[in-house]
Amino acid sequence: MARRNSGLRFQPSGGSRAQALPVGKKQPLQIERQAGDGRGIAFEGGRTWFVSGALAGERVEARVLSARSQTVEARAERILQASPQRRAPLCAHAGRCGGCTLQHMPHGDQLALKQRTLSEQLSRLGGVQPDDWAAPLVGPELAYRRRARIAVRWDAQARHLQVGFRAEASQEIVDIQHCPVLVQPLQTLLEALPDLLRQLSKPQALGHVELFSGTQQALLLRHTAALSTDDLALLREFCAAQQVQLWLQGEGAPQADDPAQALGFALPRWQLELAYRPGDFVQVNAMINEAMVAQALDWLNVQPGERVLDLFCGLGNFALPLAQAGAEVVAVEGVEAMVERAATNAARQGLEQVRFFCADLARPLAEAAWADDGFDAILLDPPRDGALEVVRGISALAARRLVYVSCNPTTLARDAAELVRQGYRLRRAGILDMFPQTAHVEAMALFEKG
């Protein structure tokens, strides 16, 4: 989990050393405002308190999760005076499961929080604001997640196999059999999963379980010891009954129990199917992913025959629609196996004007032969660390238009400042609500040269 960074100035302690706060201590607090990650902020005892599950204006009783000299992380245990904006959580596990931390906040307020976080990061860290704010890309609040990792742990003392999601700010596993943010096929699968796993003969050898819903449903079981014949038979029987592919992962990469099985995900707007294997990166929200690709193509406004560079291309999520639009696409990814699958995806769709390369994108682009001829437009979709090394050499590629898709507004703001230094202007930006019920901010930004 990424470390939270609120960018706040802490309330001074008045020169006196604050007393130690034990974990578990309960404290009444008045919540003053909202942090960028959705937690409430309170000031008490010379410290700044970050309180999950609390809204601005509320009075709560909070339980200490951890404490340092100036800051306390806490969770709202009781709402003493509720905000008019508070709503009843949509899931019975809200407040315990660490996955969805904003269910008590109306969806419109969640969007406003994400918009404000993006704007503040661009201003504070990047010293820049867009000429135009795009409307948020939004979809359903629930039943949107097509991929999930289920935690599994054997409690030897209680002789109980825990199956669920990690608790907030803890390694504890919350037993869960229903998760309303999963797409419906995965909800059905999750409900039946704990009973299956508790029948296996070596529960202590089970790692995590990954569920995926695409062109087919799939279940990946990570195991640290060889499965017995009986256990394998149980798994196969379960997957056949659920109409789910079985994938297994021991020491190596995930392997399909039936090698003839095909698994992938679709981009219906372009009538494309992309092959996928558990462990590959894929956006978890299919509806927002499709809208995101469409918006990126619209903002880039690529014309037939233009050269486009797609960096951090993954399986071809952007590259294939760009090629279908008539662009000559150079697509680059750092994981060799995904490059191979992306090239196969393009070949199966008959898209010959896209070429895939494997490269370390933490190194300067000038060293790459595929960058020699320059580009008309560039698309970047980097991981949370951003793309600073790539951006530092971007002007040498002579692209006039650049779309940056970000899963971290902090690194987007940092990289935006570098692009501005190289003569680009931030024309448009907006949030993508890829993860409703969470404070996770995805964004898209359009930069133009001159």
Q: What is the DSSP string of 179-229?
A: -TTB-HHHHHHHHHHHHHHTTSS-GGGEEEEEEEESSSEEEEEEESSPPPH
Query: Is 158 among the domain residues?
Result: yes
Residue among 77, 88, 92, 76 nearest 38 (CA): 76
* Cβ count within 10 A of residue 252: 6
Q: What is the chain's alpha carbon radius of gyration, rounded to the nearest angstrom?
A: 24
Q: Which amino acid type is present at position 282?
A: V
Q: How far is CA 292 from CA 182, 286, 434, 445, in A?
A: 20, 10, 9, 11
Q: Note the pTM of the prediction, 2 decimals.
A: 0.92
Whether residues 50 and 162 fall in one domain: no
Give residue 209's domain range.
Answer: 147-256
Judgement on whether residues 374 and 308 belong to the same structural domain of the protein = yes
Q: Does one domain contain both 295 and 443? A: yes
* Residue 17, pLDDT score: 57
Asked whether 246 and 278 are in contact (CB, 8 A), the reply is: no
φ and ψ at residue 337, rounded to 5 degrees: -65, -40
CATH number at residue 173: 2.40.50.1070
Q: Is the Cβ–Cβ distance between 323 and 299 less than 8 Å? A: no
Residues 433, 294: one domain? yes
The reply to whether 291 and 421 lie within a common domain is yes
Residue 156 lies in a domain: yes
Q: What is the CATH number of the domain that holds 117?
A: 3.40.50.150
Instruction: Write the single-letter amino acid at 327.
Output: A
**What pairs with residue 160 in β-bridges?**
155
* Cβ–Cβ < 8 Å for 361, 389: yes
315 and 347 Cβ atoms separated by less than 8 Å: no
Q: For residue 220, give the nearest of 191, 200, 246 by alpha carbon.
A: 246
d(CA 170, CA 294): 38
Does 358 qualify as catalytic in the annotation? no
The answer on 221 and 314 residing in a single domain is: no
**Main-chain phi, psi angles of 397, to 5 degrees:** -85, -10
CA distance linking residue 225 with residue 218, whole number of Å: 21
Cα 446 from Cα 122, distance rounded (Å): 13
Q: Which of these is catalytic: 97, 239, 313, 407?
A: 407
Inside any domain, residue 97? no
Q: Return the CATH number at 81.
A: 2.40.50.140
Q: Which of 394, 386, 391, 319 is nearest to 356 (CA)?
A: 319
Q: Are 368 and 392 in contact (CB under 8 A)?
A: no
Task: Tell me if 419 is assigned to some domain.
Answer: yes
Q: Are residues 341 and 443 in the same domain?
A: yes
Q: 290 and 401 share a domain?
A: yes
Residue 166 lies in a domain: yes
Tell me, yes or no, whether 424 lies in a domain.
Answer: yes
- Structure confidence at residue 296 (pLDDT): 98
Q: Are the beta carbons of 66 and 169 closer than 8 angstroms?
A: yes
Domain membership of residue 267 (yes or no) is no
Q: Are 352 and 384 in the same domain?
A: yes
- State whether 297 and 443 are in the same domain: yes
Judgement on whether residues 248 and 156 belong to the same structural domain of the protein? yes
Q: Is 320 a domain residue?
A: yes
- For the chain, report the end-to-end CA distance as a whole number of angstroms: 39
> In 365-374, which positions are buried (b, 16+ CB within 10 angstroms) versus exposed (e)?
beebeebeee
Domain count, the chain: 3
- Same structural domain for residues 397 and 297? yes
| pLDDT tens, residue order, the chain (450 aa) | 344 444 444 444 444 555 678 999 999 999 999 999 999 999 999 999 999 999 999 999 999 999 988 999 999 999 999 999 999 998 989 888 888 999 999 999 999 999 999 999 999 999 999 999 999 999 999 999 999 999 999 999 999 999 999 988 778 899 988 999 999 999 999 999 999 999 999 999 999 999 999 999 999 999 999 999 999 999 999 999 999 999 999 989 999 999 999 999 999 999 999 999 998 999 999 999 999 999 999 999 999 999 999 999 999 999 999 999 999 999 999 999 999 999 999 999 999 999 999 999 888 787 788 888 889 999 999 999 999 999 998 999 999 999 999 999 999 999 999 999 999 999 999 999 999 999 999 999 999 997
